[in-house]
């Protein structure tokens, strides 16, 4: 028995001895061998880290007005656990139902999604303390938060409890205070914090900054230990970027483009305004556009995110004739008084001729009048015959076409070209064919014509300011090359001014603004056919699809702004650059010049005549059409000419039976007033002798449906009554009698062997 007790004692003693030795070894292993590891693990428990969020740099206009900045935002959340507690105690309150109904009303989130959030559980089956309402309740603005906060206050009064299971988490988001203004330039930052398109993406490294952090030791209640270690890094805010954009000019552009987009329903309409002396972009827009504050609403309209000013290529049409003109003047090949025969030109024996837009031309006219009319024959003569391929290509290249401009916006495009055949050289001279251009290339080239011949690199970033150091990096004008001489620049400006100032035959007369010297050029380019109706001579161009444009600068003597407006496939019966784009150009240019402090240069008059001069100047812009019905033709013409309205007489009667537009209408003084002295069947006047464009305008004014057979000028007409509606059938012929009234100079050529170009 004693031995058994001793044995058991020995075994127990050995066991405890081994246990004690193992414990000592374990303590040694933890405290000495693995000391660093376990110390680090302990620190993880004692130390907490919090991120200090930086502010993204602002985007500002040239005068410091905010275009994009970080703003306070709120994320809406519900508390499933708290709602369940309250529902259990007070089911009659129906809190979940009330909150779901209100969130659905304010945020637009579906009821099923809201109920799912209000009953959300963790993986272990427990109800969550908090669940955010995403995406609709994520980073909402203060107005939404205030509406829901007021609702929450009403629930608190109803229940007598402060926590009703509806919460707001403070956050920040990117905010664009001007809505859609300059949206394609700015781009946007998504709710996830990703910079998407535009300058937000291109300048992200400058704008984003760096987050900071704070690390400190804590106790079990997460309170910082007074003598604990502290590690801190200050957040670095992003740099502020000042753009060359003038917010007011940007607004003028977008207001005018939006009206035209709604009226003509084109694929797109784009405009660029720039200072030709520095190539700073003052405004740039393309419709359709989008609002970056709610970019997700435009996910089904990707065209809204496309900046056509730098991302779309076009056959420019006759605005490109400025390049041909500048080259010809520089080489001494353009004599404004030289006479030539307009109508058509056969530049090689085997190639089809190129015709003027009105098919028969204007007879023998001067080269300057050819410019005013935008005669294709004149510019094929200058570009193909006189400059020749080598020199024409040299000027096209020197003006910057076929290469990117280098503007700071992302995704700029450009397309190389080659003119391998005589037809390609001839059509390039009039702005059609293989030379495709972007609007920004077009503006950069014409700015060189305006500023004395210097091709400048365009810029949209004026300066970048480091918010930490105050250092500012300023973008200076960059001259690429001298393209033409200052003397050539001056001469070309004088010639282009007459395209606008000649109120009779100038193709750009609708862009005329009294008191300002404006140089400009219209453009109407047929588009390559993609399966629709083609040119009757098989040129491969669509008969009814056009790109219309207008480019110009002012004032000619000291240019402050160059402006380009281009519309792709307007839905209009009369698709001409001068007719459609001229008034848009005029509206933007007039407002911009006034904003820039450029005053109109009116003749100095005696003090007693100032009021009358002001009235006359206003009448040159718009005037009220007088009532001349019942007058003799001569009396009516006299009354209308006192208001500066051009007059067209239809019929051989002696008295005015009807006038269009009607009396009392307020019209631009460039609007032709038609006097109807005789009518045919259906009450329609005799349109014989009118060009197709004038006939279309008359039918539009009369609101008479019509059909057209042939091309050129009206040779006969027939009115047919379908039900109670008269329809006019017009027969046209190229050999028909030319109308007495001059055309407005638009170069659409539905019947040319080569593509039409205004």
* Vertex 637 angle, CA 631 and 643, to 5°: 115
Q: Report whether 404 contacts 412 (CB < 8 A).
A: yes
Give the integer Cα–Cα distance in Å for 718 and 699.
13
Which one of the listed residues 285, 312, 318, 670 is annotated catalytic?
Answer: 318
Give one DSSP letter per residue of 415-468, joined into a string.
Answer: ------SHHHHHHHHTT-SS--B-HHHHHHHHHHHHTTSEEE--BSEEEEE-TT
Q: Which of 559, 553, 329, 571 is nearest to 442 (CA)?
A: 553
Active-site residue flag, 618:
no
Between CA 279 and CA 286 the distance in angstroms is 19
- CA nearest 133: which of 155, 84, 95, 166? 166
Distance CA 394, CA 327 (A): 9
Question: What whole-number distance in Å separates Cα of residue 420 and Cα of residue 435?
Answer: 12
Contact 663, 627 (CB under 8 A): yes
Show contacts of 563-566: CB within 8 Å, 24+ apart. Answer: 563/271, 563/272, 563/273, 563/588, 563/589, 563/592, 564/271, 564/272, 564/319, 564/439, 564/442, 564/443, 564/446, 565/257, 565/269, 565/270, 565/271, 566/269, 566/270, 566/271, 566/314, 566/439, 566/442, 566/523
Contact (CB, 8 A) for 719 and 682:
yes
Cα distances (Å, whole numbers) of residue 673 to 307, 578, 605, 701 = 40, 18, 30, 11
Is 60 in contact with 66 (CB distance < 8 Å)?
A: yes
Contact status, residue 68 vs residue 176, Cβ threshold 8 Å = yes
Q: What is the CA radius of gyration of the chain?
A: 37
Within 10 Å of residue 130's Cβ, how many Cβ atoms?
15
Catalytic site positions: 318
């Amino acid at each position: 028995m004693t031995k058994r007790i001793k044995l058991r004692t020995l075994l127990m003693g050995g066991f405890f001895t081994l246990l004690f030795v193992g414990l000592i070894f374990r303590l040694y292993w933890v405290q000495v061998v693995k000391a660093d590891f376990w110390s680090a693990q302990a620190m993880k428990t004692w130390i907490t880290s919090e991120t200090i969020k930086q502010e993204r740099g602002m985007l500002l206009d040239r005068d410091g007005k905010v275009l994009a900045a970080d703003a306070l935002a709120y994320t809406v959340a519900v508390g499933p656990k708290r709602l369940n507690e309250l529902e259990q105690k007070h089911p009659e309150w129906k809190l979940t139902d009330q909150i779901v109904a209100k969130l659905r009303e304010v945020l637009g989130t579906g009821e099923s999604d809201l109920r799912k959030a209000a009953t959300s559980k963790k993986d272990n089956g427990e109800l969550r303390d908090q669940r955010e309402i995403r995406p609709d309740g994520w980073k909402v603005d203060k107005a939404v938060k205030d509406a829901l906060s007021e609702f929450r206050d009403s629930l608190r009064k109803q229940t007598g409890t402060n926590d009703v299971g509806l919460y707001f988490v403070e956050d920040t988001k990117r905010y664009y205070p001007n809505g859609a203004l300059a949206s394609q330039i700015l781009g946007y930052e998504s709710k996830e914090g990703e910079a998407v398109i535009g300058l937000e993406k291109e300048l992200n490294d400058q704008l984003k900054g760096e987050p900071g952090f704070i690390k400190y030791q804590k106790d079990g209640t997460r309170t910082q230990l007074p003598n604990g270690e502290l590690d801190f890094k200050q957040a670095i805010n992003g740099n502020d970027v000042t753009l060359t954009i003038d917010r007011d000019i940007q607004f003028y552009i977008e207001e005018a483009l939006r009206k035209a987009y709604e009226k003509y329903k084109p694929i797109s309409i784009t405009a660029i305004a720039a200072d030709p002396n520095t190539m700073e972009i003052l405004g740039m827009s393309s419709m359709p556009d989008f609002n970056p504050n709610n970019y997700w609403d435009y996910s089904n309209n990707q065209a809204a995110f496309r900046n056509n000013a730098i991302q779309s290529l076009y056959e420019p049409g006759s605005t490109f004739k400025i390049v041909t003109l500048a080259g010809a003047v520089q080489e001494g090949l353009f004599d404004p008084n030289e006479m030539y025969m307009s109508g058509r030109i056969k530049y090689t024996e085997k190639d089809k001729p190129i015709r003027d837009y009105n098919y028969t031309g204007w007879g023998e006219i001067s080269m300057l009048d050819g410019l005013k009319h935008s005669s294709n024959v004149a510019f094929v003569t200058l570009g193909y015959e006189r400059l020749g391929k080598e020199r024409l290509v040299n000027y096209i290249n020197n003006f910057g076409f076929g290469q990117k401009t280098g503007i700071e916006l992302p995704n700029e495009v450009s397309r190389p070209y080659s003119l391998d055949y005589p037809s390609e050289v001839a059509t390039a001279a009039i702005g059609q064919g293989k030379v495709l251009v972007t609007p920004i290339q077009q503006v950069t080239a014409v700015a060189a014509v305006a500023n004395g011949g210097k091709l400048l690199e365009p810029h949209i970033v004026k300066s970048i300011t480091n918010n930490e150091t105050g250092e500012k990096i300023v973008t200076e004008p960059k001259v690429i090359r001298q393209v033409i001489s200052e003397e050539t620049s001056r001469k070309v400006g004088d010639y282009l001014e007459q395209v606008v100032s000649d109120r009779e035959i100038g193709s750009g007369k609708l862009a005329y603004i009294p008191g300002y010297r404006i140089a400009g050029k219209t453009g109407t380019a047929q588009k390559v056919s993609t399966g629709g109706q083609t040119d009757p001579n098989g040129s491969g161009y669509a008969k009814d699809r056009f790109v219309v444009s207008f480019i110009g600068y002012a004032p000619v003597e000291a240019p402050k702004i160059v402006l380009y407006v281009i519309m792709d496939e307007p839905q209009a019966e009369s698709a001409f650059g001068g007719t459609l784009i001229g008034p848009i150009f005029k509206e933007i240019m007039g407002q911009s010049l006034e904003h820039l402090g450029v005053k109109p240069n009116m003749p100095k008059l005696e003090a007693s005549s100032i009021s009358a001069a002001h009235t006359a100047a206003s009448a040159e812009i718009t005037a009220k059409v007088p009532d001349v019905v019942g007058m003799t033709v001569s009396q009516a013409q006299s009354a209308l000419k006192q208001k500066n309205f051009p007059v067209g007489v239809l019929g051989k009667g002696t008295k005015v039976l009807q006038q269009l537009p009607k009396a009392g209408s307020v019209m631009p003084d460039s609007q032709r007033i038609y006097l109807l002295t005789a009518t045919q069947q259906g009450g329609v006047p005799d349109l014989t002798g009118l060009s197709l464009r004038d006939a279309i305008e008359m039918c539009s004014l009369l609101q008479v449906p019509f059909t057209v057979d042939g091309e050129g000028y009206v040779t006969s007409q027939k009115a047919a009554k379908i039900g109670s509606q008269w329809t006019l059938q017009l027969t046209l012929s190229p050999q028909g009698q030319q109308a007495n009234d001059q055309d407005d100079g638009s170069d659409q050529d539905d019947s040319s062997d080569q593509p039409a170009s205004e």
